[in-house]
Structure 1
């Protein structure tokens, strides 16, 4: 039995990870400030409502649980928010990660998994690989995540026996996404216009992204936690599907599933001044090293998002 602290436990991926850990018999502490508006998942061994920057509380949760690992998911990751509230983003994402690592040091814990992002890669058209693709921060969110990876790498290097794993998560979707990302925005506009040919006002239409269901993302994070390899002490893995889709593809698939024919109009107010054209990840390393890959196509993931299984309504993995 593992004893795991999950930060960001009430989030879209966090609640699924908690459910997976509990189902296999692990003891789980969940820490979240509930700022997303989502409740804590059910069944936690220990539930802590707190800011991840509150190091004393994080340390106390580790001691109370007698944790042997941390999965650190808590972050501000809505990119427009990260740009308009730059100091808040860096405080939560960077200071919060340092808080978690300091608490781990104080309690002698030696295994940490953190969530990073495919956004840390330099912009380009090629498939992104952990070993060969350069990284470059082009926005505040990517800056914070690159910093997080460096923080974990340094933490691993400062004592023998420590293991750090980074999940470079690409675009995750599900019915319970609490952030104003593209799909929740599209669905909200469709609900507001019940016609057969609703008009959707969207921003940048050209960018292509690598999408996966949040169940797959959570399963990937779990695979990182269970990585049996003791070396290297620090390692990075893409969690992605290896297939990219445009905004138009996404809207078309949603329309098919709903039996509607939405039309898109570009809204200049919604356009980002800088938005990468491609973000396609190579999942090969996660498959060869961890035996993980996505289970569902975009069509299936969207179907699950629009009509989640009853067992998934409380955030359980399907």
Structure 2
């Protein structure tokens, strides 16, 4: 692969999505990549490698971030670093906004001073208002429904204003439900698996809301999409892309597919103690724009993502050998 951009900084580059984005960027001929990560989620820094520079730093540390960007002089900053865990965003509201909003402003100020040409922001499908049907980037209404989406909507405004001030290019990746192995944040799928004893043939499990539909995308596809957005010289100063599959599934669909993979009959009941007070009924991302502009097509399906997660859990069955 070739691109006009050769130097990339990835904040949150040791994370679940981040280390895979870094791998994709290093596959670009001649690319130099630097990671900034405070390692707060417990994932290790990637191993040292040619054309890779590693920095342990908090994005709120303005002096450290400015020094790193001034020395490395990136063409592109891919900003992934954030508090992503929704329960943490709700229980530690001021802390998460400090990281997600103030930390983003620190990165943007350092990027402006370093002459960065392009910012790629990892936003979220959670910024959209609730509606049936596919959510289209440039026309679907937006509405914050929780502390995390407040931060991401704010981040989108921050990067847009950065582009206006600096003349730099801005690309926003609205990431939908990304799943796969080694996710450090507890989510629905690990919760299901932990309720199933090894060797069981039939179980009953309790979950919260069973009917919401989500657009699940394999983490490898998410990382490849973000890297493609970062390396591509896009038309115009401001672009938004959904990173999604255009397909959705309910909680019951996930349970049934996990049952097939684990070879267990799973009966699921709705546990009132687990029901979220606020839970949007549907979240489906339109994919026309990213397909047309970047020729991006997801390469892995929901079943493959679930197999990866089940394998990591240590569960053994013929389907995950």
Name the TM-score, length of structure 1 as normaliser: 0.92
DSSP 3-state at the match of 2:13 = coil
Q: CA offsets, 1:53-85, max 9 Å, x none?
A: 112211222223232111000111121221111
Q: Equivalent residue for 2:262?
A: 258
Instruction: Supply the distance in 2 between the matched residues of 1:212 and 1:303 (Cα, whole angstroms).
Output: 13
Equivalent runs, 1:265-276 vs 2, <5 Å = 265-276=269-280
Q: What RMSD over aligned residues (CA atoms) do the two structures have, in Å? A: 1.5
Instruction: Supply the distance in 2 between the matched residues of 1:306 and 1:195 (Cα, whole angstroms).
Output: 14
Instruction: Supply the distance in 2 between the matched residues of 1:43 and 1:288 (Cα, whole angstroms).
Output: 36
Deviation at 1:188, TM superposition (A): 2.3
From 175, 179, 185, give the equivalent of 2:181.
175
Check whether the contact 1:177–1:184 (CA below 8 A) recurs between aligned residues.
Answer: no
Instruction: Supply the distance in 2 between the matched residues of 1:239 and 1:268 (Cα, whole angstroms).
Output: 32
Q: Give the unaligned 5+ runs of structure 1.
A: 309-318
Check whether the contact 1:22–1:43 (CA below 8 A) recurs between aligned residues.
Answer: no
Equivalent runs, 1:213-252 vs 2, <5 Å = 213-231=218-236, 233-252=237-256
Q: Is 2:203 the partner of 1:203?
A: no
DSSP 3-state at the match of 1:31 = strand
Q: Equivalent residue for 2:283?
A: 279
Check whether the contact 2:244–2:287 (CA below 8 A) recurs between aligned residues.
Answer: yes
DSSP 3-state at the match of 1:199 = strand
Instruction: Supply the distance in 2 between the matched residues of 1:285 and 1:139 (Cα, whole angstroms).
Output: 27
Instruction: Supply the distance in 1 between the matched residues of 2:123 and 2:311 (Cα, whole angstroms).
Output: 28
Instruction: Supply the distance in 1 between the matched residues of 2:27 and 2:214 (Cα, whole angstroms).
Output: 32
Check whether the contact 2:108–2:159 (CA below 8 A) recurs between aligned residues.
Answer: yes
Instruction: Supply the distance in 2 between the matched residues of 1:109 and 1:126 (Cα, whole angstroms).
Output: 37
Q: Is 2:153 the partner of 1:146?
A: yes
Q: Is 2:305 the partner of 1:304?
A: no
DSSP 3-state at the match of 1:262 = strand
Q: Say how many residue pairs are matched.
A: 305
Check whether the contact 1:3–1:67 (CA below 8 A) recurs between aligned residues.
Answer: yes
From 164, 187, 192, give the equivalent of 1:186.
192
Deviation at 1:184, TM superposition (A): 1.9
Q: Equivalent residue for 1:58?
A: 65
Deviation at 1:43, TM superposition (A): 3.2
DSSP 3-state at the match of 1:10 = coil
Deviation at 1:10, TM superposition (A): 1.4
Q: Equivalent residue for 1:121?
A: 128
Check whether the contact 2:174–2:243 (CA below 8 A) recurs between aligned residues.
Answer: yes
Instruction: Supply the distance in 2 between the matched residues of 1:139 and 1:66 (Cα, whole angstroms).
Output: 35
Q: Is 2:5 the partner of 1:5?
A: no
Instruction: Supply the distance in 1 between the matched residues of 2:204 and 2:85 (Cα, whole angstroms).
Output: 24
Q: Give the unaligned 5+ runs of structure 2.
A: 313-321
Name the TM-score, length of structure 2 as normaliser: 0.91
Instruction: Supply the distance in 1 between the matched residues of 2:199 and 2:13 (Cα, whole angstroms).
Output: 34
Deviation at 1:270, TM superposition (A): 1.6
